[in-house]
Amino acid sequence: MARPDPHSHTDLAQPHQQHLAWKAEVDFAGRTLRATATLRFDRGGSAVDLDGRGLVIESVTSPDGRPLPFELGPTEPILGERLRITLPPGVDTCVIRYRTGPEASALQWLEPAQTGGGTAPFLYSQCQAIHARSVVPLQDTPRLRITYEAELTVPAGLRGLMAAAAVDREVRGDRAVERYRMDEPIPPYLFAFAVGELQARDLGPRSRVWAEPSVVERAAHEFAGVDRMLTSAEALFGPYPWGRFDLLVLPPSFPYGGMENPRLTFLTPTLLTGDRSLVNVVAHELSHSWTGNLVSNATAEDFWLNEGFTVFAERRILEVLEGPEMVALHAAVGRQALDEAVANFRDRPQLTRLRTRLQDVDPDDAFSQVPYEKGYLFLRALEEAAGRGAFDRFLRRYMDTFRFQSITTEELLDLVRAELPGALEAVDAPRWIDGEGVPAGAPVARSGRLERVEELKTQLPPPEARDWSPWEWQVYLNRLPRPSPAEVMTALDDRFHLTEAPNPEVLVAWLTVAIRSGHAPAVRRAETLLGEVGRMKYLKPLYAALIAGPGTRSLAEASAQRYRKRYHVIAAAGVESLLRKGA
Ligand code: BES
Ligand code: ZN
């Protein structure tokens, strides 16, 4: 047995998947996909263990229709079910007819009332890290990439989009069949689609933005700069490897800021502030086109390879577009988030390592800012040790060497050893990779704008702070003591109207300190906000603040109860776990 991924039944001694032909019919009324997955492997003549979660398997046959032996194992916590199929000698392909379960963890089915338009239902997938198996039976490990072709059948009034190249759309009565193909091999967690009332606006020769009609104009305005971003990224990392870079703005319950689905990045509508102040999230997802999608983590234990490199790349793009001062502010906010994540993991310090051990740990529970911001700081330390020119050449080498592969931390370290001799020793790499917390002497962001904010400490900001960027406000607010005196909260709110902040990052940074300080307007604003957004980055700190704040715990409980159905299952689980812990 060769099972290299603690989150998959994949046995590398068995045949390896290569290509998927997927046909799925979307049934909104039954909240199910009726589907056929035709999986081709590199060989036959062997049993092969696939991953599934909640799938109802109707038949497994060879391409010519002969039944193939299969066995669906018991449901295991975290992993789901093993689907063992026996491929006869000479048969390298199996055809699986199945339905998805009502609770498919990758899918969110939205009622019309949960969308912007209010008239049509909406469906989207979110497969990272280990939810693809609830939509398609396959070897659900990033180690084994697949190409695919797909036919998605949707109600004719809706669009079905996939993170792949569009082939055509054919209307058949009240249904439409949308065909796609993905010719570049992807890890299964990048399989993605969405169905809804969707319209597009072109943003440039290689990009358009998709969204519901009620937000598509705002979205086109917010992301108008995407082509310049793409060109800047190519200057840094080489030609864009995926053809198109389209964006899809999802309904508010999307639990992440963004998801780097290839050719079609998924985004939260909370980015639509009107002032383009959150486009770093687009720079981040674009960067994954190289770090993550081209070079992928071999398992969730090496997740920092995806996210640490991507935060590094995101800030290099930002440096070109917005300058080093802005990068310093972003990095400072990142460092604050890292320190908070490390503090939150005081009971599980193993999860503050870059290279983690996740046997019996759900990747959704291990998720934190550690792989992002500690990974970023480790790469900054290497960059300082090697010098920027040498480190830039190394990054290109990294992307060339591991193109369309999925790698472990060890493989990265071997490449650094070969290409940047002495660099690992110079930064004491083992402390970063396998040590807990943040090493002393980690790179620190410096800039004049940052210093002016930090010098204020807990004093009220001067009137000029009206012109602060959202990042200066976050640095300032995150440094305030919790609780802070009620008069300070009132004075801040009177002068800067923070309870009405249009930028959600500033708003949440403000509300978390103001709630803990008993500032009543903040509690009321949080109460409505919890019903408006589903992004976990905002829900979790807001719930944590209400749980810890003076007299607001019962409001946290009531809100969780009231809004649970609006949240994505992953977000709802995160909120539940905060309430259980009581922290
Ligand atoms: N790939 C992640 C989102 C993700 C991670 C989904 C793990 C499921 C499991 C995405 O690229 C991401 O990091 N999004 C961030 C954006 C931010 C760092 C700019 C987010 O959602 O906040
Ligand atoms: Zn990311």
Burial annotation 331-358 (CB, 10 A radius, 16+ → b, else e): bbbbbbbbeebbebbeeeeebbbbbbeb
> Of 124, 247, 259, 367, which is best to mutate to test ligand 1, by the most ligand atoms within 8 angstroms of its C-beta?
259
The enclosing H or E element of 476 equals: helix 470-478
Which tokens in the block code for residue 377? 């700081």
Using CB atoms within 10 A of its CB, is residue 448 exposed (0-12), middle (13-18) or buried (19+)?
Answer: exposed
Q: What does the pLDDT read at residue 556?
A: 98
Q: What is the distance between the alpha carbons of residues 175 and 156, in angstroms, rounded to a whole number?
A: 4
Per-residue confidence (pLDDT) for residue 561, from 0 to 100 = 97
Q: How far is the CA of 462 from the centre of ligand 1 (A)?
A: 35
CA 145, 191, 356, 388 torsion: positive or negative?
positive
- Does the reported pTM lie above 0.75? yes
pLDDT in tens, the chain (583 residues): 799 999 999 999 999 999 999 999 999 999 999 999 999 999 999 999 999 999 999 999 999 999 999 999 999 999 999 999 999 999 999 999 999 998 999 999 999 999 988 999 999 999 999 999 999 999 999 999 999 999 999 999 999 999 999 999 999 999 999 999 999 999 999 999 999 999 999 999 999 999 999 999 999 999 999 999 999 999 999 999 999 999 999 999 999 999 999 999 999 999 999 999 999 999 999 999 999 999 999 999 999 999 999 999 999 999 999 999 999 999 999 999 999 999 999 999 999 999 999 999 999 999 999 999 999 999 999 999 999 999 999 999 999 999 999 999 999 999 999 999 999 999 999 999 999 999 999 999 999 999 999 999 999 999 999 999 999 999 999 999 999 999 999 999 999 999 999 999 999 999 999 999 999 999 999 999 999 999 999 999 999 999 999 999 999 999 999 999 999 999 999 999 999 987 5
CB 318 less than 6 A from any atom of ligand 1? no
Can you tell me the distance from the alpha carbon of 450 to that of 455, in angstroms, rounded to the nearest whole number?
A: 9
Residue 546 backbone class (left: φ over 0; alpha: ψ -120 to 50; beta: rest): alpha
Indicate if ligand 1 lies below 6 Å from the C-beta of 129.
Answer: yes
State the Cα–Cα distance between residues 292 and 309, nearest whole angstrom: 8
Q: How far, in Å, is the centroid of ligand 2 from the Cα of 282?
A: 10
pLDDT of residue 102: 87
Q: Verify whether ligand 1 is closer than 6 Å to residue 258 (CB atom).
A: yes
What is the amino acid identity at position 548? Answer: A
Determine whether the shortest distance from the Cβ of 284 to ligand 1 is under 6 A. Answer: yes
Most informative mutation of 256, 280, 536, 570 for ligand 1 (most atoms within 8 A of CB): 256
DSSP string, 98-154: EE--TT-TTEEEE-GGGSSSSSS-EEEE--TTTTGGGTS-B--STTS-EEEEEEEEE
User: For residues 187 and 50, what is the distance between their CA atoms, to the nearest angstrom?
Assistant: 14
Scanning 271-374, the segments in alpha helix (DSSP H) are 280-287, 303-322, 324-344, 363-366
> Could you list the active site residues?
285, 372
Rounded-to-integer distance, Cα 167 and Cα 187, Å: 21
Q: Nearest to residue 492, comparing CAs of 465, 528, 455?
A: 465
* Whether 80 contacts 55, CB under 8 Å: no
Taking a 5 Å cut-off on Cβ, the residues next to ion ligand 2 are: 307, 310
Ramachandran angles phi, psi of 391, nearest 5°? -70, -35
Per-residue pLDDT at 526: 98
By residue count, the chain amounts to: 583
Mutate to test the pocket of ligand 1, among 284, 361, 367, 533 (most ligand atoms within 8 A of CB): 284
Residue 576 parent element (H or E): helix 569-581
d(CA 119, ligand 2 centre) in Å: 32
